[in-house]
A and B are shown apart, each in its own frame.
Chain A
């Protein structure tokens, strides 16, 4: 048996210590070890983006990311986005909903996380992205239902 390794990280704001096998993927850590099923396994090959989470604010495909590499880092999954006592959710989620960009919704949590990191980057750089830049930013997130139009419109509305 390969040795297990102890890691320390923050998941959705909670400091966590776990001992895991070195080959464990981040998506398995999230879905199986922590039971957070909002992160979706669409392909497990880095091709669809359904498993996107934020590691230190950056969007990564959790199916390609070794879990041991989150040691000392901050991971945010869709469950970690704040919900107010009134039930208000993150503006990115709200924009997708209001623009009709959620159909079957299986791509949505990953899409939300990609958009979150993109919006944060744009805000930091103080730019208002063009539709083409938005399309480019979500190119790695496949959606079979919506044809992407409403997703792009939703992102535009955030600026």
Chain B
């Protein structure tokens, strides 16, 4: 029987917020274990060099130092996606992040002091910092472990196509070709990286208190690196102070910490300071996108041809696979008859890129959406009309064979156009406030996976449930909480189904020794996949409860409702407390515990070798309309209003949802206007919050959010993935708004006041 939803859709503060706001949550840097040592890492002084010798004798002699290790002392396999990154480098260094030696000491200060006493002799070499240089015929091989198949320095090539591109070119009334340059941006999680490793030399097991967002893959990878059995490694996730994709890869500091613990037989903790965080944690890929797009005389898009060179840096993380996501946007955002996509992740001696919220999509969307404005302008068409005309629709099967089983793209576009007060005559002239200040409105859409993403053999999630004799429910889920609010969403679903108060629900999700498999936090998949897994488990639990309750209430199972902690018969009006039913099951036949297990694997497909297939069960769509004001004297850009309409399937927790939207949009503003990790000859020039600015409270515009509910048939209650989407269209919408205001050419990010002024001067 279908009943009104009581919990789903109601604003619900996060369950873990009290502990966090009270300072009682234990983050990586708060862990204290008995007898714990502190580790520190010596990184290279030069981006590219041969290591001639390493002398650790002075460091060893410093009182308080317990162990010093170098690449020669350890037996560890390479890490990362291509297994091309040695944990501690031997013989040569390839980028400024490179780890050469590590120290364990009784205090962090002593460990850091000891690191300075390690003497390394380098033979400094020339590096290659431009991927186009690295692609030259005579370029030397940058990473000695991977010899690319097309070129020695291509870490990962991708090629995709659909449709008849030549025929579509002939059909095109306009063709626009643009080269876009996208910068290195970094996550700036407020909590710097931290890990505590505890190896027992008695039972030969390793416990890691760490901040990974993919605990089970991390466990497997760590085992391979250390030549251990995965089951002998226990991953306990501490409270995580921001993830945003940065914790999707393993970094050398993590196995280094484990090795120090194995070496000393004591727990060891490594924490980064902010400078190390900037230098040694990943970035969004810097890339050059050459995009050619066409449209016919009526404004229907004809084709896109994208050729992309990504600066991979010296090693290959999961981030090199962002073309998986980028090609979806190039091939399928807006209806598109033909597409060619060619991307290459190219080794350089720069710091290496990783995965970052949006996973290549912010870059791809920037290029696609900027070109759409240029196409519209050349056609003399309205920029909103052209988008609406080409918008994705329900039941569309795209050239890449993705199936849009539910789709709110058109609706999202219409909402933001309407709410922003946009009209076709709102143009540069319309926004001409004065000679000095000019206003403009820009649009951008986005397409992203919304029902998981089948990129690993399993995209599933397991759930164990137990209800104790007192009616309290424990949800043991494979999924992880990284601040995004997944615990609360899961507890809300259980509260809805069982009619019990949120106070009576606990979520256990941090320990690989306890929780069942889940592939991890990525692809905005947790609400969808972990939610469906939980609903499957709840169904089993309710079967148990209902069988007993029907017996006790002498009624049919279909006649029962779960409400206010009671299981009630709708015919007789009689009820039993849910905990009473649990005890009846436990203490009387069938003498069972109220515990169940369920595993959910989404129905999505692995793409074939041509990258075709329905990689996600469903997809998320969004549109943003942004109004900006440009000060033409200073080049300053003020973002006034951001209108966000996003197809979320169904709103589960409006409070958490709005938080994801606002946080994402503001991160997108940073990408658009402020953020770039500057690098020169392999050195990072701005590794601190003073020189690398992220948005602060005073930068915040009015953010208006309009959820679009398409009630996805596969989503839990109809919901689909949310978390990455909001930042994806923000930068192109801001860029389009600035162009609308002052008519300059924008092909790169961030759009700083200096660039605006320069462009204005060049135009004049």
Please give the residue numbers on chain A whose beta carbons come within 8 Å of chain B beta carbons, in ascending order. 35-45, 47-48, 50, 77-79, 81, 83, 89, 93, 96-109, 112, 132, 134-136, 138-152
Cβ contacts under 8 Å, B664 to chain A: 147
Q: When A and B form their complex, which 7 residue pairs have the shortest distance between CB atoms, in order from nearest?
A: A38-B23, A105-B20, A104-B483, A106-B241, A147-B666, A147-B662, A78-B23
Whether B557 is near chain A, meaning CB under 8 Å from some CB there, is no
If the complex has contacts A45-B274, A139-B696, are A144 and B23 also in contact, measured as CB distance less than 8 A? no
B697 adjacent to A93 (CB under 8 Å): no
Q: Which of A35, A47, A109, A144 contacts B242 (CB 8 A)?
A: A144
Binary A-proximity of B253-277 (CB < 8 A = 1, otherwise 0): 0000000000000000000011000
Whether B656 is near chain A, meaning CB under 8 Å from some CB there, is yes
If the complex has contacts A96-B21, A98-B13, are A104 and B482 also in contact, measured as CB distance less than 8 A? yes
B26 adjacent to A37 (CB under 8 Å): yes
Binary A-proximity of B694-710 (CB < 8 A = 1, otherwise 0): 11111010010000000
Cβ contacts under 8 Å, A152 to chain B: 697, 700
| Complexed CA–CA distance, A37 and B269 (Å) | 15
Select from chain A the residue with minimum beta-carbon distance to B670: A144
Cβ contacts under 8 Å, A144 to chain B: 187-190, 242, 244, 663, 667, 694
Select from chain B the residue with minimum beta-carbon distance to A39: B23
Whether B11 is near chain A, meaning CB under 8 Å from some CB there, is yes
Select from chain A the residue with minimum beta-carbon distance to B689: A47
Select from chain A the residue with minimum beta-carbon distance to B668: A147
B191 adjacent to A40 (CB under 8 Å): yes
Binary A-proximity of B387-418 (CB < 8 A = 1, otherwise 0): 00000000000000000000000000000000
Which residues 1-51 of B have a CB within 8 angstroms of A?
A: 11, 13-14, 16-18, 20-27, 29-30, 32
B30 adjacent to A37 (CB under 8 Å): yes
Q: Which of B21, B29, B243, B662 contacts A105 (CB 8 A)?
A: B21
Binary A-proximity of B642-685 (CB < 8 A = 1, otherwise 0): 00000000000001101100111111000000000000000000
| Complexed CA–CA distance, A104 and B666 (Å) | 16
B666 adjacent to A43 (CB under 8 Å): no
Q: Which of A50, A89, A136 contacts B21 (CB 8 A)?
A: A89
A40 adjacent to B688 (CB under 8 Å): no
CB distance from A105 to the nearest CB of B (A): 3
A106 adjacent to B191 (CB under 8 Å): yes
CB distance from A114 to the nearest CB of B (A): 10
Q: Is the interface of B mostly helix, strand, loop or mixed?
A: loop
Whether B252 is near chain A, meaning CB under 8 Å from some CB there, is no
| Complexed CA–CA distance, A133 and B665 (Å) | 22
A105 adjacent to B698 (CB under 8 Å): no
Whether B204 is near chain A, meaning CB under 8 Å from some CB there, is no
B23 adjacent to A37 (CB under 8 Å): yes
Q: Which of B29, B273, B663 contacts A147 (CB 8 A)?
A: B663
Which residues 343-392 of B have a CB within 8 angstroms of A?
A: none
B20 adjacent to A108 (CB under 8 Å): yes
Complex A-B: 5 CB contacts under 8 Å:
A40-B241, A141-B697, A144-B189, A144-B694, A152-B700
Select from chain A the residue with minimum beta-carbon distance to B656: A100
Cβ contacts under 8 Å, B243 to chain A: 104
B14 adjacent to A47 (CB under 8 Å): no
A148 adjacent to B700 (CB under 8 Å): yes
| Complexed CA–CA distance, A105 and B15 (Å) | 12
A89 adjacent to B22 (CB under 8 Å): yes
A97 adjacent to B14 (CB under 8 Å): yes
Whether B485 is near chain A, meaning CB under 8 Å from some CB there, is yes
Select from chain A the residue with minimum beta-carbon distance to B705: A149
Select from chain B the residue with minimum beta-carbon distance to A146: B663
Cβ contacts under 8 Å, B655 to chain A: 99-100, 150
CB distance from A2 to the nearest CB of B (A): 14
If the complex has contacts A44-B274, A148-B666, are A100 and B190 also in contact, measured as CB distance less than 8 A? no
Whether B442 is near chain A, meaning CB under 8 Å from some CB there, is no
CB distance from A85 to the nearest CB of B (A): 15
Q: Which of B14, B32, B239, B482 contacts A100 (CB 8 A)?
A: B14
Cβ contacts under 8 Å, B20 to chain A: 102, 104-105, 108
Cβ contacts under 8 Å, A141 to chain B: 697
Cβ contacts under 8 Å, B485 to chain A: 103
B697 adjacent to A97 (CB under 8 Å): no
Select from chain A the residue with minimum beta-carbon distance to B665: A147
B29 adjacent to A41 (CB under 8 Å): yes
CB distance from A24 to the nearest CB of B (A): 11
| Complexed CA–CA distance, A35 and B30 (Å) | 9
| Complexed CA–CA distance, A36 and B191 (Å) | 17
Cβ contacts under 8 Å, A35 to chain B: 32
Q: Which of A38, A99, A140 contacts B24 (CB 8 A)?
A: A38
Cβ contacts under 8 Å, B696 to chain A: 139-140, 142, 148
User: Which of A83, A93, A105, A144 has the most C-beta atoms of chain B within 10 angstroms of its own C-beta?
Assistant: A105
If the complex has contacts A37-B23, A89-B18, are A104 and B190 also in contact, measured as CB distance less than 8 A? yes
CB distance from B147 to the nearest CB of A (A): 38
A43 adjacent to B689 (CB under 8 Å): yes
CB distance from A36 to the nearest CB of B (A): 8
Cβ contacts under 8 Å, B244 to chain A: 144
A105 adjacent to B659 (CB under 8 Å): no
| Complexed CA–CA distance, A108 and B22 (Å) | 8
Q: Which of A81, A106, A148, A150 contacts B190 (CB 8 A)?
A: A106
Q: Which of A43, A102, A139 contacts B688 (CB 8 A)?
A: A43
Cβ contacts under 8 Å, A109 to chain B: 21-23
Select from chain A the residue with minimum beta-carbon distance to B481: A104
Cβ contacts under 8 Å, B18 to chain A: 89, 93, 97
Q: Which of A79, A97, A98, A105 contacts B25 (CB 8 A)?
A: A105
| Complexed CA–CA distance, A146 and B187 (Å) | 14
